Structure 1
Amino acid sequence: MKSNNVDKIELLEIPKITDPRGNLSVVEEGFLPYEVKRVYYLYDVPSGEYRGAHAHKEQSEFLIALSGSFEVILNDGENKKSIVLNKPNRGLLIPTGIWRELENFSSGSVCLVLSSGKFLESDYIRDYDEYLKYKK
């Protein structure tokens, strides 16, 4: 069981280099508390659809809205917290054991995910009732 709770989850500022030609943000070794093992991104999410609806037993993930915006609903089994991601220089670090749902995607939004582990189906909890049992 993981004791992580949503009250401790906050947005992290990603270093930004400003330039009249365009800004640059960098996530490099040492920024996250883990080595990135997998990178994927969500895009073309139809209006009204949602993504996520799962928790990880071992993986942590860092989410960034590269374009547009979306809402992340975090749930630790007792408390919920909603965070809107809408800036490419701010990201959300989600620790293990937290249920997440992504919704309210704006048109053209892109969600980049930097994960601490490779895809492993056994790491996912995809049923909310099973998640609640896992948290107890």
Structure 2
Amino acid sequence: MMLPGFPEAAPLAGLAGGLLIGLAAALMLLGAGRVTGVSGIVGRAFGINDSGMSWSSAWTFVIGLPLGAFLVATLKGGFEPEFVPLPLLAVAGVLVGFGARLGSGCTSGHGVCGVSRLSQRSLVATATFMIAGIATVAVMGAL
């Protein structure tokens, strides 16, 4: 069953995206010996923490994330950006940063890398992310 508003290719796009995320995480672990936790890498880029990665490598990763998404969207025929009011965006960013600090990592670090290493902390964190996400969707759907 397809969801309304989602193209039929969505499952294949999700599979391809998942494979690329897994490949990137594996390359980072094998090449640099580091877990691919985006919050840690962003923290290193802004000098907030020392993730064991060079400052220039952190910035390359941070710039590559939106640049890669922009490139794919452009190759697929473009996109229509939706602008979020700056104060709302700032509050959301602070809340995400606070949550990543509180949870000792973000969804990429725990969900992709930690779960694959069977880290108990990551298993609990990922279960918490999933429960919160499901609850949010249920509440938003009921509204």
Work out whether the TM-score is over 0.5. no
Please state which structure has a larger fraction of its residues in helix.
2
More strand by share: 1
Calculate the TM-score normalised by the size of structure 1.
0.19
Structure number, greater radius of gyration: 2
